[in-house]
């Protein structure tokens, strides 16, 4: 149990003894550490319901509050805040417990859930681009954190592998394909075929019909067209896998739109028969008269020409996941513009009797320095592969300048960790609903709230251990086990920050916001640097040195674990 939770239990007991609703017992870190380490506004909330003076209610609570073994005497401040300053001995015991329990103070969830996280979802025959960054990185970090907290997580990459673009790709494959280009750069060749056929269609209505018939043949199971389609999917996935491998991202499922194709017709027929859907001007729709905001926004699941839509596929996906996984929750990590689509799909799913907790984990856009959607100079989407390679190259230039003596292979590995970490962290540190400007200078800076700053804090700690070992100090191991004794204010500040780790991870999943973890890690690194400046480590006397090395070791462990939950690795030197 965390120190914060333990204090909360004591406050709840005092509220019960005072005849006050114990659910008001909420303890949080103090907003102003001059008054203490933790605080509760329970007296203020209770006073409002009881119509009494908040400070009088606070005094009543204090009469029943038994925290003498944990804190100095609690104080009342302002309109009725009760403040707690933890004893140095309590803090020492707590941070030692965090160091020794193997989980760094992170408690598993009390109720384990099966959560499906649907993210990334690139389109076959097209390159992954900058627009895929947020879904891919955000979805992966949420999966890592949810698993770390004890949930069963199924990651599903619902790739776009079925649609009208394949008529153009198949026609181009048959008539315009360059085999050599396909072998050297398959995605680029598939994109070329699509664009060339698209351009030809504009001046040739007959060709447009021919291309459409190629799509119809594919949909009807034509052997030749199916084989071309399978090759296009395989070549695309090979390139996707290369990028996912670079990003250290894996998926449990990758069931694309095509997987559900045979289920679409029977699904629509059944929804019509069950009167969940109805015909409207030749199309099939699901209406939501019970939802005022959606009365005039039906979910279209079959067009008047018989064609199906994304919503149809998504409803078939809901059913499949319900039957296979019986999930407690399904999270869709896609852009904010898809909000209405998912509201309709979720409402339709509930009409179908699916009670799963559906959530649309929406996010904003990545902007260029002109504050417009990030594009290349020619107006094309910035390809993800090129962007990641540039991040590594830029990081390599910095590493080579700072540590030219390191072997080339080690420089390249460090650059990979820094470059990819910088891109991931720059995205995750934002509130997911905000748009943000992509800036190489900011994200690769070793100052401020960036991945290199956090990685450098870890590396600084590792260098302290290496120096301790080289100077013959027995404590210079990777995980010092000496007892930690907290006495200095800077030690207190760092220890209190370490103890917040478990609470922060749980708060991330409450609203699916990894930026809370980013902010926590930044404040942890900041607290370490203040501790490092204020408290000599290797120059201290034996017992103090051992304690401070151990405190630094816990800090390194939390930094490394926290960054790994964001999908970011740490080098041992930089």
Express each pLDDT in 548-567 by its tens digit: 999 999 999 999 999 999 99
- pLDDT at residue 374 greater than cutoff 90: no
Across 60-191, the runs of DSSP E, i.e. the strands, are 75-77, 81-84, 114-118, 152-156
* pLDDT, position 428: 98
- pLDDT at residue 378 greater than cutoff 70: no
Q: Which long-range CB contacts under 8 A does 169-172 form with residues at least 24 apart?
A: 169/125, 169/193, 169/194, 169/197, 169/228, 169/232, 170/214, 170/215, 170/218, 170/225, 170/228, 170/229, 171/197, 171/207, 171/210, 171/211, 171/214, 172/196, 172/197
The band of 371, judged by pLDDT with boundaries at 50, 70 and 90, is confident
Mean predicted confidence (pLDDT) in 96-118: 94
The contacts of residue 129 (CB under 8 Å, 6+ apart) are 381, 382, 383, 384
The band of 78, judged by pLDDT with boundaries at 50, 70 and 90, is confident
- pLDDT at residue 475 greater than cutoff 60: no
Structure tokens at 479: 């995980």
Nearest to 79 by CA among 113, 104, 42: 42
DSSP per-residue letters across 246-263: HHT---SB---GGGGHHH
The contacts of residue 252 (CB under 8 Å, 6+ apart) are 153, 154, 155, 156
Q: Are 154 and 253 in contact (CB under 8 A)?
A: yes
Largest Cα span, the chain: 88
Cα(220)–Cα(318) distance, integer angstroms: 25
- pLDDT at residue 477 greater than cutoff 70: no
* pLDDT, position 146: 98
Mean predicted confidence (pLDDT) in 257-263: 94
Cα–Cα separations (whole angstroms), residue 157 to 136, 244, 319: 9, 11, 17
Question: pLDDT digit string (tens) for 160-205?
Answer: 999 888 999 999 999 999 999 999 999 999 999 999 999 999 889 8
The band of 1, judged by pLDDT with boundaries at 50, 70 and 90, is confident
Q: Residue 212 CA to chain centroid, in angstroms? A: 40
The band of 379, judged by pLDDT with boundaries at 50, 70 and 90, is low
Show the domains of the chain with their CATH numbers.
3-86 (3.30.1360.70), 165-247 (no CATH), 384-443 (no CATH), 451-565 (1.10.730.10)
Q: Are 449 and 522 in contact (CB under 8 A)?
A: yes
Cα(105)–Cα(501) distance, integer angstroms: 7
Across 97-203, the runs of DSSP E, i.e. the strands, are 114-118, 152-156
Q: How many residues does the chain have?
A: 574
Place of tokens 């300053």: 85
Cα(379)–Cα(373) distance, integer angstroms: 10
Q: What is the CA radius of gyration of the chain?
A: 29
Q: Are 554 and 460 in contact (CB under 8 A)?
A: no
- pLDDT at residue 478 greater than cutoff 60: no
Q: What is the mean pLDDT of the chain?
A: 93
The whole-model pTM stands at 0.93
Q: DSSP 3-state assignment of 157? A: coil
Q: Are 520 and 559 in contact (CB under 8 A)?
A: no
- pLDDT at residue 407 greater than cutoff 60: yes
Q: Are 528 and 555 in contact (CB under 8 A)?
A: yes
Nearest to 189 by CA among 174, 173, 201: 173
What angle do the packed helices 205-219 and 223-247 form, to 10 degrees? 80
- 321-335, 377-391, 454-468: segment of lowest average pLDDT: 377-391
Mean predicted confidence (pLDDT) in 242-251: 97
Mean predicted confidence (pLDDT) in 43-69: 92
* pLDDT, position 84: 95
* pLDDT, position 476: 52
Cα(229)–Cα(240) distance, integer angstroms: 16
């Amino acid at each position: 149990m965390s120190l914060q939770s333990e204090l909360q239990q004591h406050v709840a007991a005092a509220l019960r003894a005072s005849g006050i609703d114990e659910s008001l017992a909420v303890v949080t870190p103090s907003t102003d550490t001059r008054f203490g380490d933790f605080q509760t506004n329970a007296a203020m909330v209770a006073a409002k319901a009881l119509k009494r003076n908040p400070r009088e209610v606070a005094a009543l609570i204090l009469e029943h509050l038994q925290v003498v073994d944990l804190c100095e005497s609690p104080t009342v401040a302002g309109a009725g805040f009760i403040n707690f300053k933890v004893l140095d001995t309590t803090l020492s015991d707590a941070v030692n417990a965090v160091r020794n329990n193997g989980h760094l103070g992170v408690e598993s969830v009390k109720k384990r859930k099966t959560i499906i996280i649907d993210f990334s979802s690139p389109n076959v025959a097209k390159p992954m681009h900058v627009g895929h960054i947020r879904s891919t990185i955000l979805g992966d970090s949420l999966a890592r954190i949810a698993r770390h907290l004890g949930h069963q997580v199924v990651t599903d990459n619902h790739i776009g592998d079925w649609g009208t673009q394949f008529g153009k790709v198949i026609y181009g494959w048959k008539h315009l394909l360059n085999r050599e280009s396909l072998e050297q750069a398959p995605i680029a060749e598939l994109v070329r075929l699509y664009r060339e056929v698209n351009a030809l269609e504009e001046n040739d209505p007959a060709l447009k019909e021919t291309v459409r018939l190629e799509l119809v043949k594919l949909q009807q199971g034509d052997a030749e067209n199916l084989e071309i389609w399978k090759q296009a999917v395989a070549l695309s996935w090979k390139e996707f896998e290369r990028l996912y491998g670079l990003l250290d991202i894996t998926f449990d499922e990758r069931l694309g739109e095509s997987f559900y194709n045979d289920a679409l017709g029977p699904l629509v027929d059944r929804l019509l028969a069950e009167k969940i859907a109805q015909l409207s001007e030749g199309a099939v729709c699901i209406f939501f008269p019970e939802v005022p905001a959606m009365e005039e926004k039906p979910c279209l699941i079959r067009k008047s020409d018989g064609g199906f839509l994304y919503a149809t596929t998504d409803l078939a996906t809901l059913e499949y996941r319900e039957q296979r996984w019986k999930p407690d929750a399904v999270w869709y990590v896609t852009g904010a513009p898809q909000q209405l689509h998912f509201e309709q799909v979720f409402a339709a799913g509930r009409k179908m009797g699916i009670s799963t907790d559906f959530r649309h984990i929406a996010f904003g856009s990545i902007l260029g320095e002109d504050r417009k959607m990030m594009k290349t100079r020619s107006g094309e989407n910035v390809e993800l592969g090129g962007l990641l390679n540039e991040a590594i190259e830029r990081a390599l230039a910095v590493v080579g300048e700072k540590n030219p003596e390191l072997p080339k292979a080690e420089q390249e590995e460090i650059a990979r960790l820094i470059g990819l970490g910088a891109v991931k962290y720059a995205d995750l540190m934002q509130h997911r609903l905000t748009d943000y400007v992509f800036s190489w200078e900011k994200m690769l800076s070793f100052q401020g709230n960036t991945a290199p700053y956090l990685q450098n804090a870890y590396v600084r700690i590792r260098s302290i251990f290496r120096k301790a070992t080289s100077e013959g100090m027995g404590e210079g191991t990777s995980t010092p086990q000496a007892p930690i004794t907290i006495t200095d204010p800077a030690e207190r500040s760092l220890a209190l920050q370490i103890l917040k780790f478990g609470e922060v991870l749980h708060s991330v999943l409450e609203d699916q916001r990894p930026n809370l973890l980013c902010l926590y890690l930044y404040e942890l690194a900041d607290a370490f640097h203040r501790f490092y400046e204020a408290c000599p480590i290797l120059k201290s006397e034996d017992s103090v040195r051992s304690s401070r090395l151990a405190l630094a070791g816990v800090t390194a462990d939390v930094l490394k674990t926290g960054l790994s939950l964001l999908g970011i690795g740490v080098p041992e030197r930089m």
